[in-house]
């Protein structure tokens, strides 16, 4: 382990960090924060144009070269191509942040996931979500760990959710005079799987220098309607939703040497949601 002062342990200079789902709300915050700490950030996202735009923005703001790569984490060939591109460009992979996930919004486009009761939930929607949220994590970890083992060090952080720790309170999503709406079963199941994968990988790679932890965010504000914000906030000890940068600072801790004695752990950042 490098001999660093306490603040120096957060330094990511010259490290290469892959963030899947990097062009999304949290992914953008993660990328900007880790680049500020000195990392070369690879924004891997199915939205290739969004990934490239963010990488350009991050490079210009931080002065550290970042890279955007179109990646479908549910497809082995796409994941392998992404990892090969990173290794050709930077020659190393220090950190993988498994952040890509399908979390359907409450809008007409995703009505089938939210208006169907569990008893009628479509098998096609189940398979699609788990292919990204679970298989994607598996494939990305599988692809980067040989390089990490060879280097004798590496960090993987799997992004879970409070809904991987406790079940969703479906009352949050109901509106008087409207058809019932439900947080999909796939989200809770896949985020719980992320925690199981974290513990498995942490113990499997014992002695290799690879650390594997999970980050479990609570609800992050993203333009939610006032009624949802009020209901959600009332269920947290801190009485509010989170901001994206509050998750990014927690991630910085987990990917850096500041958390050097942590593996197989789950860092819950939920404003006290699960403390009641």
pLDDT in the model for residue 106: 65
Note whether residue 276 is domain-resident.
no
Helix (H) or strand (E) holding 201: helix 185-204
Note whether residue 203 is domain-resident.
yes
The three-state secondary structure class of 222 is coil
pLDDT in tens, the chain (276 residues): 556 688 999 999 999 999 999 999 999 999 999 999 999 999 999 999 999 999 999 999 999 999 999 999 999 999 999 999 999 999 999 999 999 999 987 655 655 555 678 999 999 999 999 999 999 999 999 999 999 999 999 999 999 999 999 999 999 999 888 889 999 999 999 999 999 999 999 999 999 999 999 999 999 999 999 999 999 999 999 999 999 999 999 999 999 999 999 999 999 999 999 998
Long-range contacts, 164-170 (Cβ 8 Å, 24+): 164/188, 164/190, 164/191, 164/192, 164/193, 164/194, 164/195, 164/216, 165/192, 165/195, 165/216, 165/266, 165/268, 165/274, 166/273, 166/274, 169/235
Which pair of tokens denotes residue 167?
């079940």
Round to whole Å and give the CA distance between 21 and 176.
34
pTM of the model: 0.94
Note whether residue 83 is domain-resident.
yes
pLDDT in the model for residue 109: 61
pLDDT in the model for residue 108: 55
Note whether residue 270 is domain-resident.
no
Contact call for residues 45 and 27 (beta carbons, < 8 A):
yes
How many separate helices (H) and strands (E) can be counted in the chain? 9, 7
Give the structural domain span for 206: 7-262
pLDDT in the model for residue 179: 86
CA dihedral 122, 125, 129, 135 (to 10 degrees): 80
Note whether residue 272 is domain-resident.
no
Note whether residue 148 is domain-resident.
yes
Distance separating the N- and C-terminal Cα atoms of the chain: 38
**DSSP E strand stretches across the chain:** 16-20, 40-45, 67-70, 95-98, 154-159, 210-217, 266-269
pLDDT in the model for residue 113: 56
Buried b (16+ CB within 10 A) or exposed e, 143-173: bbbebbeeeeebbbbbbbbbbbbeebeeeeb
Note whether residue 1 is domain-resident.
no
- The total of structural domains in the chain comes to 1
Residue given tokens 């098998």 in the structure block: 123
Residue given tokens 């965010």 in the structure block: 217
Note whether residue 274 is domain-resident.
no
In order, the DSSP letters of 39-83 are -EEEEEES-HHHHHHHHHHHHHHHSS--EEEE--TTSHHHHHHHH
Question: Which residues are known to be catalytic?
Answer: 187
Kindly report the CATH number assigned to the domain that includes residue 98: 3.40.50.720
The three-state secondary structure class of 16 is strand
């Amino acid at each position: 382990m490098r001999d660093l002062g306490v603040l120096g342990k957060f330094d990511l200079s010259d490290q290469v960090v892959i963030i899947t789902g990097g062009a999304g709300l949290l992914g953008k915050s993660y990328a900007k924060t880790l680049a500020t700490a000195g990392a070369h950030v690879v924004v891997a996202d199915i939205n290739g144009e969004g990934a490239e735009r963010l990488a350009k923005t991050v490079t210009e703001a931080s002065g550290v070269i970042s890279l955007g790569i179109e990646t479908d984490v549910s497809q082995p060939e796409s994941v392998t191509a992404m990892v090969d591109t990173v290794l050709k460009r930077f020659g190393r992979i220090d950190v993988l942040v498994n952040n890509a996930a399908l979390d359907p919004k409450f809008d007409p486009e995703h009505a089938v996931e939210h208006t169907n009761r569990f008893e009628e939930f479509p098998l096609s929607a189940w398979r699609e979500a788990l292919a990204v949220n679970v298989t994607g994590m598996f494939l990305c970890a599988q692809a980067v760990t040989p390089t990490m083992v060879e280097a004798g060090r590496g960090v993987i952080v799997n992004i879970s959710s409070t809904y991987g720790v406790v079940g969703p309170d479906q009352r949050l999503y109901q509106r008087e005079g409207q058809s019932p709406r439900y947080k999909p079963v796939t989200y809770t199941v896949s985020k719980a799987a992320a925690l199981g994968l974290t513990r498995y990988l942490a113990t499997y790679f014992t002695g290799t220098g690879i650390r594997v932890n999970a980050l479990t965010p609570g609800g992050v504000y993203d333009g939610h309607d006032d009624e949802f914000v009020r209901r959600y906030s009332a269920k947290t000890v801190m009485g509010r939703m989170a901001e994206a940068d509050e998750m990014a600072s927690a991630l910085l801790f987990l990917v850096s040497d500041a958390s050097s004695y942590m593996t197989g752990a789950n860092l819950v950042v939920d404003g006290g949601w699960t403390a009641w």
